[in-house]
Amino acid sequence: MKLDKLLDYQSQDIALKRIMSEIEKSEDFKKIELAKQEFAIAKKNVEDSEKNALSLVELFASLEKDYKDTQEKIEKLIPQIEKLEAKLDKKPQDVKEDFEKAISELGALKSKASEIESKLMDQKSKGDDTIQKYKAASERMKKVREFHAKAKERLDALQKSKEAEIKKIKAVLKDLEPQIDKAILTQYKAITSEGKYPAFVLAHVDGKNFSCKGCGMSLSQTGSSAITGQGYTACESCRRVVYKG
């Protein structure tokens, strides 16, 4: 029969798929996938903390400069006030206005300085917070990396234990390929690429009527006569190839 080699191919292909899915369904495979996601989250947190720290440092530097400038202005203003104060006793009418202006300027500078001070304190606590977040995220990265390495080690061992079997099946598949009609093999690959296994299914026969064992639907009259004629046909509902036993 024309499909014999394809059916051999299919049973080997399914055996290979079973081994692959045993690997992919293993706990360690899942753990590795989880570790990859966790690692990406922790990495993003580390990067965010770094960015945050950088902008905090910049802001801190600019606040510090403002603070220094304000302090310098205060230090310059104090001796001026002292001079005005000395004159105030002798000629109050000449300096009164300047004195009051200088005092109010001093008041404004002092309140600016204390405002900057409280901002600096605020930045410092934000900085401490950022450092804590950074530490926690790097610690998490380290742990996830260890977790990943252990799972990977076990998964590698599992894969290695299946290696010979996989190699053997792949060799058989390769050997069978040229012996199968090209169009049929292409059809097989198109169906399995959609995850439909098996792709070629035995027809269920009920008198003159055939139905697909893949999806359970009855074949049309055209389908039924095709299967009677050439021995197989594509199922109209699921596209699997239905063949007569």
Q: Which residues pair with 234 in a beta bridge?
A: 241
Closest contact distance (angstroms) between CB of 135 and Zn ion is 58
- Return the number of the residue (104 or 222) whose C-beta is nearest Zn ion: 222
Closest contact distance (angstroms) between CB of 236 and Zn ion is 8
- Return the number of the residue (102 or 212) whose C-beta is nearest Zn ion: 212
SS3 letters for 190-244? HHHCCCCCCCEEEEEEECCEEEECCCCCECCHHHHHHHHHHCEEECCCCCCEEEC
- Return the number of the residue (7 or 88) whose C-beta is nearest Zn ion: 7
Closest contact distance (angstroms) between CB of 146 and Zn ion is 48
Closest contact distance (angstroms) between CB of 234 and Zn ion is 9
- Return the number of the residue (14 or 215) whose C-beta is nearest Zn ion: 215
For helices 4-24 and 182-192, what crossing angle results, to 10°? 30
Closest contact distance (angstroms) between CB of 3 and Zn ion is 16
Q: Is-contact 124 117, C-beta < 8 A?
A: no
- Return the number of the residue (178 or 195) whose C-beta is nearest Zn ion: 195
Cα dist from 94 to 49, 76, 107, 153, whole Å: 58, 21, 22, 89
Closest contact distance (angstroms) between CB of 205 and Zn ion is 15
Burial of 227 (0-12, 13-18, 19+ CB in 10 A): buried
Q: Is-contact 25 124, C-beta < 8 A?
A: no
159-198 mask for Zn ion (x: CB under 5 A)? Answer: ----------------------------------------
Whole-number Å distance between alpha carbons of 2 and 232 = 10
Within residues 61-120, the interface with Zn ion by CB under 5 A covers none
Give the tokens for residue 121.
Answer: 């304190």
Within residues 196-235, the interface with Zn ion by CB under 5 A covers 212, 214-215, 235
# of chain residues touching Zn ion (CB under 5 A): 7
Note the residues at the interface with Zn ion (CB under 5 A). Answer: 212, 214-215, 235, 237-238, 240
